[in-house]
Chains A and B, each alone.
Chain A
């Protein structure tokens, strides 16, 4: 191809200024070329910067470094020819379906008759006829997202950006919408040249995309680039499709969960080792996953895709739990599999009090922040310490919000383990338990 690429992203970096003046890096060293006729999936967990990248492409914000060019021209604002579909639909509740769809055309100042013709055509194509004069609140979620699609398609964009467009819908509706979209795409009726799809659903990516970019967090970056050659329409039960899903799981877990022996965590976060950001995971979920993996048919070792579909959990829900189990040495995650450690097996068959004791041991022994809080409380004569004491330390490594979330996560686990107590009213940690 001699003519300029549809979209070209080179070495893009995006950071947000933190309160103390330093920069919080959310995207680093991202490269991407979008070729004609491709659907590219950006796959990753929330916080991996994939939505941020989509907004950079849409011209809704600008990169801190690197370049984004569309048809050879740098993107420095919302570009004509790039349209977006939003996760929460983002349709205006005070406009009818027709007015919502016509909005982008009106902004372009087209003649009234033309706006009407084009809008009705788009509404017709996306399967919304009969709903023209309805207000969004009269529509179901699936119909609302169809309005979102019609609104984006009516301006005849070259590139369609989709930010988790199906994740706010129920499973059946999402499937229908996906299929309809793929039909329109393969028939070439939408006049779109390329699509970028942000998703955290592995099967969705495998179903729709010609290329899947797996994103990692802290900072967000592309971990691997998977070419998908399966023909459309794809069948979920096809062995080749299952193999693809398995491969994506392996890719995601290999890079996401650093093996225990490497102890890469201490390297990345020097000092007290309290710099890791934790997801808020409840002890119930952790116990539940341990029990499921320990029981038949898994008996201590399970395939992640299998267990995800078994428990109908999305990776966004499953991975944090698995990650936490790994951190507390209840399980090892490797190659798309989760395997219980000895502690995990003991936990699965223990009674309530035993479980709590074991949980407390693992928490204080392997989660640096929990151990740190406990040590401080032990050392102080009053056995009390204000929350500020710890958030100040943590904010050297992360922003205020992440520190708050991480501390909440630790407090939740410590309460279950009875490792220490926390009074939210006074914002004070202590060793005493309420009598």
Chain B
């Protein structure tokens, strides 16, 4: 084999058109960072001195700052994922506590975290913008981290035995194993979850930037605060500007970050089925073709190799592999966990007994039931609409090609940007809020149903379709016996996400305002939102606990059994 070592070739190739594009993108990124990080260390008072402006000229700056916050949070989430999930997957003892905890955290409404932690973060950098930034980033983090950690944990648990054995028998150190085997294996699922997380983050960007808990009110410059101000002033045009900006921002990072990432992680898939379509991305092509970027990757790889050498080169011996159960330590650990849980229960119980009555609790449960009714009806309605459409689209590859990316984009678009428009309508025409606020809950989440059903229908084997044509199966019989069963597992996956998302959205959707008019629907979401605005911690916690309980219970009692049933009975493999 001959290796290209000719250094002139490097110089000649340096000026390909891909390089020009790459240089522009890199410089653009640096400029963006500079723009976005301005004023981080300024005192809080300065925020008050320079009030936000609804002038669209400020939008690029606001968008940059918000996006930066989102990515900081994504970075923190990644860090959290790599540590928390790894710990849970590697230590059977920690696993028993960490995994259920993650499951609960996943179902705690995001707004709950903000209201409880904002004071703490403000105190970290007293009197400075940085403290509020911390709080905002943390709030976004809480909307991104859990599903990423969960996916990573699950990937670590499902690494094929032979790959693990290969790593062992070639003496990979734990450090090398992590970076060469575990992380690459988990990447495809992780990237997919990062995309979902970004959408989740946008949803709460208003709440996390225009922080308003009790007496604490801070408006960090960014898209969220811009929207909040536009709502307060009832400026419909500014809302329109914000929506267009968001559209562009999401398009940019989708094209510059996630498409290339998806094209890149495709090579990390273990099941090497050549039949699937390889994801394409122009940005990824640019990165691959540019010699400049290639040179930077080489540097990066050398650095990785260097760390491999720095961190223990000796492999673990048998003791590492066969961890003997230590019953005594296990018992101590178990007791510690029980004690912790008991302490928590006691605290919560004491607080509830002291601060709220049975009547209040009963009322919260009734509100939760109301919200549940909304979610159930909306999911049912959305299914009635999107399942047939999804099947119709999925069976037509030419249509799928165009519809699928649009559906994914719509799922990523923060639907709550459209809320002000809806509220404006309700106020203007004096509509019933209990009824008309409800659709907002599913505005952003219904797309999960659509694109999962499309995926299911398009993966339906051609033979099955030919067979039903051959036997003249059509009409209702075709839907009942052919189409619906074959998309059921996919539909359930989508519906689980949609249902969870709708609960979360209830907090934002059930209590909306326009100028000084508040529109409110009766439900648990409105209860929590109201308690947050009033800074009433006991009611916040009561509301959040109830909502988490409902979400966990619905998942355990309804969705999970349905999912296993669909998997077992209808999965075509």
> Interface of A with B (CB < 8 Å)?
55, 58-62, 76-78, 80, 82-84, 86-95, 103-104, 106-109, 112, 120, 129-130, 132, 135-137, 151, 155
Q: Which residues of B contact A61 (CB under 8 A)?
A: 321-322
B contact residues around A86 at 8 Å (CB): 162, 165-166
CA distance A106 to B268 in the complex (A): 20
Partner of B309, one of A58, A80, A109, A151: A109
Q: Tell me the complex Cα distance, A112–B303, Å.
A: 12
Instruction: Tell me whether A107 and B1 are in contact (CB under 8 A).
Output: no
CB distance from A63 to the nearest CB of B (A): 11
- A-side interface mostly: loop
Given contacts A60-B169, A94-B267, A103-B170, A88 and B160 within 8 Å (CB-CB): yes
16 additional A-B residue pairs with CB within 8 Å, beyond A78-B170, A103-B170: A59-B318, A77-B315, A77-B319, A84-B169, A86-B162, A88-B160, A90-B166, A94-B268, A104-B171, A107-B176, A109-B313, A120-B1, A130-B1, A132-B1, A137-B272, A151-B170
Whether A92 contacts B181 in the complex (CB less than 8 A), given A60-B165, A107-B173, A137-B272, comes out as yes
The 8 Å CB contact of A92, one of B1, B184, B319, is B184
Task: Map CB proximity to A onto B36-58 as digits: 1 under 8 Å, 0 otherwise.
Answer: 00000000000000000000000
Which residues of chain B from 258 to 308 have a CB within 8 Å of any chain A CB?
267-270, 272, 274, 305, 308
Q: Which residues of B contact A155 (CB under 8 A)?
A: 170
Bound: A95/B163 CA distance, A: 13
Residue pair B165, A84 in contact (C-beta under 8 Å): yes
State the Cβ distance, B103 to closest chain A Cβ, in Å: 25
B168 at interface by CB-CB < 8 Å: yes
Q: Does the CB pair A78–B168 fall under 8 Å?
A: yes
A18–B165 alpha-carbon span in the complex (Å): 23
Shortest Cβ-Cβ A-B pairs, 9 listed: A77-B317, A104-B170, A77-B318, A109-B313, A90-B162, A90-B166, A94-B184, A137-B272, A76-B318
Complex CA gap A87/B160 in Å reads 12
Give the shortest distance, in Å, between B135 (CB) and chain A (any CB): 38
Given A59-B318, A120-B1, verify A137-B274 contact (CB < 8 Å).
Answer: yes
Q: With a CB–CB cut-off of 8 A, which chain B residues contact A84?
A: 165-166, 169
A103 touching B180, Cβ below 8 Å: yes
Nearest CB in chain A to that of B270: its residue: A93
Indicate if the CB atoms of B170 and A95 lie closer than 8 Å.
no
Chain B, residues 439-459, CB within 8 Å of chain A (1/0): the string is 000000000000000000000
Residue from A95, A109, A112 within 8 A of B180 (CB atoms) = A95
Question: B316 in the interface, Cβ–Cβ < 8 Å?
Answer: yes
Contacting residues, chain B, for A95 (C-beta < 8 A):
180
Check B313 against A135 for contact (C-beta < 8 Å): no
Known: A88-B162, A90-B160, A135-B267. A78 touches B180 (CB 8 A): no
Q: How far is the CA of A28 from the CA of B351 in the complex (A)?
A: 61
B164 to chain A, nearest CB (A): 9
Q: How far is it, in angstroms, between the C-alpha of A326 and the C-alpha of B171 when the chains are bound?
A: 47
B284 to chain A, nearest CB (A): 15
Q: In the complex, which residue of chain A has the Cβ closest to the Cβ of B271?
A: A93
Give the complex CA separation of A137 and B272 in angstroms. 6
Contact call A107/B313, Cβ cutoff below 8 A:
yes
Interface check B172, CB cutoff 8 A: yes
Distance (Å) between the CB of A124 and the closest chain B CB? 8
- The docked-state distance in angstroms from the alpha carbon of A49 to that of B434 is 66
Knowing A76-B317, A77-B321, A106-B308, the reply to whether A90 touches B163 (Cβ < 8 A) is: yes
Nearest chain A CB to B272 CB, angstrom units: 4
Chain A residue nearest to B181 (CB atoms) is: A92
* Chain A residues closer than 8 Å to B165, beta-carbon distance: 55, 58, 60, 84, 86, 90
8 A-B pairs in the complex with CB atoms less than 8 angstroms apart: A61-B322, A77-B316, A77-B320, A84-B165, A90-B163, A107-B176, A120-B1, A137-B272
Please, which residue of chain B has its CB at the minimum distance from the CB of A105? B170
User: Among A60, A91, A94, which residue has its beta carbon within 8 angstroms of that of B321?
Assistant: A60
Find out whether the CB atom of A106 lies under 8 angstroms from the CB atom of B317: no
Within 8 A of A (CB), among B313-361: 313, 315-322
B321 touches A83 (CB 8 A): no
Query: In the complex the two chains form, what is the Cα distance from A236 to B1 in whole Å?
Result: 37
The answer to whether A82 and B267 have CB atoms under 8 Å apart is no
> Do B170 and A83 touch (CB < 8 A)?
yes
Question: With A92-B184, A112-B305 known to touch, is A107 a contact of B170 (CB < 8 Å)?
Answer: yes
Contact of A87 among B162, B168, B180, B274 (CB under 8 A): B162
Q: Report B73 CB to chain A, min CB distance, Å.
A: 27
Q: Nearest Cβ in chain B — how far from A117, in angstroms? A: 12
Residue from B171, B269, B317 in contact with A107 in the complex, judged by beta carbons closer than 8 Å: B171
Q: Which of B174-214 contact A (CB under 8 A)?
A: 176, 180-181, 184, 187
A104-B171, A132-B1 known; A93-B272 Cβ under 8 A = yes
A108 B171 Cβ-Cβ under 8 A: yes
**A93 in complex: contacting residue of B173, B269, B320, CB < 8 Å:** B269
Q: Which residue of B lies closest to A163 (CB)?
A: B162
Do A62 and B268 contact each other (CB < 8 Å), given the known contacts A106-B305, A151-B170? no
Q: How far is the CA of A132 from the CA of B4 in the complex (A)?
A: 14
> Taking the nearest CB of chain A, how far is it from the CB of B279, in angstroms?
13
Is the CB–CB distance between A108 and B313 below 8 Å?
yes
Chain B residues whose CB sits within 8 angstroms of the CB of A83 once the complex forms: 169-170
Could you tell me the distance between the alpha carbons of A91 and B160 in the complex, rounded to whole angstroms? 11
Contacts of A80 in B (CB 8 A): 171
What CA separation (Å) do A108 and B309 show in the bound complex?
9
B315 and A78 contacting across the interface, CB-CB below 8 Å? yes
A298 to B490, CA, bound (A): 51
A84 to B269 Cα, complex, angstroms: 23
User: CB-CB contacts of B519-545 with A at 8 A, as 1s and 0s?
Assistant: 000000000000000000000000000
CA distance A103 to B317 in the complex (A): 18
**Cα–Cα distance between A78 and B173 once the two chains are bound (Å):** 12
CB proximity of B423 to chain A, nearest CB, Å: 48
